[in-house]
Structure 1
């Protein structure tokens, strides 16, 4: 529940629900910061009188009628709005899984039905952007294919919104993201459920899914032609290294690129049966550096602003398990700030300590 509180009413552990400014171009404290006593003192020092915060829910606050859902769905000390959003997310994944089984048996996608359960979630996700940084925690490797489709839809919608596209485009692209892998239903389960890396022959079989997906949805009037093209092209790359046609540059639409970045980002930040996940910060860095030239930089920057923005005072966990606080953010390498470690007070600069990266923001 969102409420405004006077500074005198704040206590450690409360979550900010909006950026805090004080005659500054950039916020002195960002939305979703979990307030510590030091944060509260900083707000007081800047003369801030009131801030918008999020009340939190714990297991004891969850109605008994809702305690039959998976234990992972009810986490201690999470915002009420995020608990409800995660519950709706899980229900959407369950609905998608049922539809996928129909497609596997030979039925064509009922896009009206898919639209009915994904659009409400997309609309909520556009206003509660914190879900974007939690999608990799929501997923599980055993049912990755279902989680992945819903997550790609959410990410695609959010990125297009961040880039300034109108709501019609963002919701259409979110729907396209959810349907982009419907053709996976035509791939043998033995390949999709394999717990090791695929052979060349198996990978070539999986690559056919974009063609299957387009064939399955091509006759529907509920999806625009440019969205159908995006589904076909979501594995194409600007340098021509993608599939199914190896197209390059201008021949690949911006909507295709948004789906592509969303697809790669969620895949790399999610745990799979055959490998561990990377942090969202590390993945954005890898897309920018190691995959340079394959993706539209404007799309990547939009994703960065949504899930990778860091500010001074943010508490983080590093890939070596150490906890620390961001002391300085470099303008040219914002994903590699200076961190003050909690264990010994030592300040480390991630620009020079390349073996380390931020694993997650600590709430």
Structure 2
């Protein structure tokens, strides 16, 4: 196919890049056969690129502006306050429901749906809300935050895996109710601030079974989701509980909830640990928890977290502010970052001393 060198200022959306483009980087900043989208023009500006090699367009489809917008993920910050209000309302409601479950009441699925669905709608439209979940949470009310957050994270993983809307909502509700059985664990154990004894820990490990007892008679929740709730602490290598199931014995929906559960648990402030960066946690799940989770589910979460648009504002672990310039597909949690104060460019894949501590979703 014929190629031609074109000046960036004359470039149109939808043109196709004819060669890998480097800019003093180990890996290309734009790959061959990429279709030109809005974000690429920001890259051209950042790296002062004046012209690139593209394919002649004879038999190529040039995408319309509307198609480009559909294909391009852009973080939108609208309705942030509305999401925050809905979120804290849901936390207050689930605290009340936990008290009811502890007292012997059955789960009111209508109330549960009313809590989670408004949040699901917002987080599916704008996944950037997940970057704020660990800032909302606190150690004292961790359990309630964890229930809501696990449901929301499970919903976006489910969407990333291509599930339909009905399944996504079912997965989110199952994720939210996965730890409902903690209401049946004695408060002196559930709320204990020091290390658990072996007997106490054995009781905590029964909570998936207690959760299953709470949901088993709910007609609005599919049977496969009830099984997922029971299995959400099982691990593919047999190291989980309550039964030590392995591999194909564990459902895919259980794996989705498990990954969402572990991710939120690891990023959140706990009584015994400070909150952690989602990017650092992603690396830990991939490296330290390898073999415990379905690789496709983990990759879906990775894609959700690391797919940051060019120009996204971030804070590094040394507290310096920067913006994302380029995502390295071989080390997606460690992009090329431009520091805002100095203008210096840091390749986090090469410099392992730093990592992204948080994504800045709103300006104060």
Give the TM-score category using the shorter length.
0.7 to 0.9
Flag structure 2 segments of 5+ consecutive residues without an equivalent. Answer: 1-12, 16-33, 51-64, 70-75
**CA deviation map 1:325-349 (0-9, x unaligned):** 3344322111112333344444333
Structure-2 separation of matches of 1:114 and 1:26: 43
Q: Secondary structure at the match of 1:325?
A: strand
Question: 2:204 is matched with which residue?
Answer: 206
Q: Identify which range, 79-88 or 242-251, moves more after superposition.
A: 79-88
Deviation at 1:22?
5.9
**CA deviation map 1:49-105 (0-9, x unaligned):** 9999xxxxxxxxxxxxxxxxxxxxxxxxx9451111110111111111111100111
Question: 1:131 is matched with which residue?
Answer: 129
> How is 1:23-102 mapped onto 2 (pairs within 5 angstroms)?
23=15, 25=35, 27-29=37-39, 79-102=77-100
Structure-2 separation of matches of 1:324 and 1:79: 18
Flag structure 1 segments of 5+ consecutive residues without an equivalent. Answer: 1-20, 31-37, 53-77
How many aligned positions are there? 309
Aligned residues of 1:284 and 1:308 also touching (Cα < 8 A): no
Structure-2 separation of matches of 1:28 and 1:80: 20
Aligned residues of 1:132 and 1:306 also touching (Cα < 8 A): no
Question: 2:331 is matched with which residue?
Answer: 333
Aligned residues of 1:310 and 1:335 also touching (Cα < 8 A): no
Structure-2 separation of matches of 1:196 and 1:234: 25
Structure-2 separation of matches of 1:142 and 1:27: 45
- 2:299 maps to which of 276, 301, 317: 301
Aligned residues of 1:310 and 1:334 also touching (Cα < 8 A): no
Deviation at 1:133?
1.7
Aligned residues of 2:131 and 2:359 also touching (Cα < 8 A): no
Question: 1:11 is matched with which residue?
Answer: none
User: CA 1:325–1:118 in structure 2 vs 1: closer, same or farther (change >3 Å)?
Assistant: closer
CA RMSD of aligned residues (A): 2.8
Deviation at 1:165?
0.7
Structure-1 separation of matches of 2:327 and 2:39: 13
Q: TM-score, normalised by structure 1?
A: 0.77
Structure-2 separation of matches of 1:173 and 1:234: 12
Which structure has more relative contact order (CA 8 Å, sep 6+)? It is 2
User: CA 1:121–1:26 in structure 2 vs 1: closer, same or farther (change >3 Å)?
Assistant: farther
User: CA 1:129–1:310 in structure 2 vs 1: closer, same or farther (change >3 Å)?
Assistant: closer
**CA deviation map 1:200-236 (0-9, x unaligned):** 3322221110011101111121111100000000001
Q: TM-score, normalised by structure 2?
A: 0.77
- 1:120 maps to which of 118, 121, 141: 118
User: CA 1:197–1:355 in structure 2 vs 1: closer, same or farther (change >3 Å)?
Assistant: farther
Aligned residues of 1:218 and 1:228 also touching (Cα < 8 A): yes
Aligned residues of 2:149 and 2:264 also touching (Cα < 8 A): yes
